[in-house]
Amino acid sequence: MEYQDAICTLNTLQTNASALEQVRRERSHPQLQLQAMRSFLERSGLTVEELDHLNIIHVTGTKGKGSTCAFTEQILRSYGFRTGFYSSPHLVQVRERIRINGQPIGKELFTKYFWQVYGRLDETKDAHGGTMPAYFRFLTILAFHVFLQEKVDLAVIEVGIGGAYDCTNIIRKPWVCGISSLGIDHTQILGDTIEKIAWQKGGIFKPGVPAFTVKQPEDAMVVLRDRAKEIKCPLWVCPELEGYQTDCGPLRLGLAGQHQRSNASLALQLSHTWLQRRCLPGGTGISENLNCVLSVCLSGRLVSGLADTEWPGRNQTLKHGAVTYFLDGAHTMRSMQACVHWFTETAAQHERNASGPVARVLLFNATGERDSAVMLKLLVPCHFDFAVFCPNITEAIASCNADQQNFNVSVENMLTRCLDNERSWRLHNRLGDNQGTQLLIEDSLPLVPEKKADTLVFPCILSALRWISQGRDSVVADPAKTVLPVKPNIMDKAAPLCDVAEIHVLITGSLHLVGGALKHLDPASSK
């Protein structure tokens, strides 16, 4: 069976009626989630006891948990350990979620292990009421299977949503746990206050297992301390990154943005604690006293690990000739604040080096229950010349990659959301409310207002990128990629983009949007 066959079969777990019914039922009885997960794990041929052998680092948080995991994995790989890393969501291909030594597992390995796990679950479903695990549960089981088969020295596991009832929390004996910055997100599942969310996140604490958190809002911190006390888990707050000393000048991080500094400090503590437990000869250069880390001098491998970390789609810059793309998957209010801070600083540096005038373009989408209007309001001070909106559909032609198909949201709902986002932007910018906006492709209804060229809605990511780049990015202009023709009057409105020396594009609001854009901007990512 081919890789695409595996992905198409995996996608059926997004729409499988019994899987969706499980999710609905368990929302009101969340404790059933871990019970169901254990059952699926056993049906796949694994036991929770086997997971103890993976020497796991378990990380949750609202913002920065993926970056923290990326820093941690890179540091421990720099010590020569064979690492496993499970994260979500993926940007371009599903196999990015399951990495060995920092690299997504190959298509052949993914396919082989996929059918091993899927086959066992499929064979046993009749004896279990026809049930199959939903998409994320399946991938979590697959990751555990891969890491055991590939004999990793450790596995860095990023929580999906929350912590207490997340399916990764069947882990019984992690070596260390971490909590990155907390904020409000996934409120329908986790609750609508920072205290409720902190309670859920603290659910990954385990008796006697060291845990670390970055500095949190005081209300959240009180809950985390209570959870740690209740579970009998030692909990430490990470110091500021400035508190560490090195022999080689200031610490340099491979990930851009001021907010990455707390993620890096958390990663240092997680890596150090894991290494201590592993009893690495010579130690790590951090004080043995975990309460006192401010006056320590970091070893070269810790320093280089932070500097060498890569994590696509987060504060990422890609320069394609006259067009520079700034990509960040920010999708909460706090992460958007960090994104705006990063973009403002980084774009200003690029503008100082430009050979002439620069046009700024926003490409935005947001999904789920997230408050788009709040995020868009934060983006207004960036002074974009155009704001472009599109759904998380990579291209409107049927050749679309199965890795990026989402069957849980209808196309109609996605497009309606884009039009709502555009309306919010116009209201924030006092441009009036364009009730008549339509998709900017030929043969659509003639409802596009002629007088405003500052906001546009496209049916897919490729159409939006083609219009924004105006033929000035050869990668996006690839004639092998077909797009629906855009109305001539809409092409005419792009004149300002043709007249400037450079175009700077911020792509944000959704990691899925960023992933769809990367499929076109970095063709190697989908090979």
Side-by-side strand order, sheet with 323-328: 316-320, 323-328, 502-508, 358-364, 386-389, 455-457
At residue 244, the pLDDT reads 87
CA distance 525 to 190: 33
Residue 260 vs residues 38, 67, 451, 462: alpha-carbon distances, Å: 34, 8, 42, 30
CA distance 366 to 383: 20
Phi and psi at 316, nearest 5°, equal -100, 140
Annotated binding site for Mg(2+): 88, 158, 186
| Residue where the block lists tokens 């408050």 | 371
CA distance 501 to 235: 52
Annotated binding site: 88, 158, 186, 314, 328
CA distance 339 to 181: 15
At residue 321, the pLDDT reads 94
Most distant pair of Cα atoms in the chain: their distance = 72
Q: Mean pLDDT per segment of 10 residues, for the chain of length 527 residues? A: 92 70 67 90 97 97 95 97 96 97 97 98 95 94 98 97 92 97 70 86 96 95 97 94 81 92 95 84 48 58 93 95 96 92 96 95 89 94 95 75 67 87 89 51 41 76 95 89 78 88 97 95 87
Annotated binding site for ATP: 314, 328
CA distance 204 to 187: 18
Instruction: Report which of 101, 58, 89, 86 is spatially closest to residue 143, judged by C-alpha positions.
Output: 86
Q: What is the DSSP string of 279-347?
A: T-TT--SS-S-TT--TT-EE-HHHHHHHHH---TTSSEEEEETTEEEEEE---SHHHHHHHHHHHHHHH
Give the SS3 label for residue 453: coil
Contact between 518 and 525 under an 8 Å Cβ cutoff? The reply is yes
At residue 400, the pLDDT reads 53
Reported pTM: 0.89
At residue 15, the pLDDT reads 63
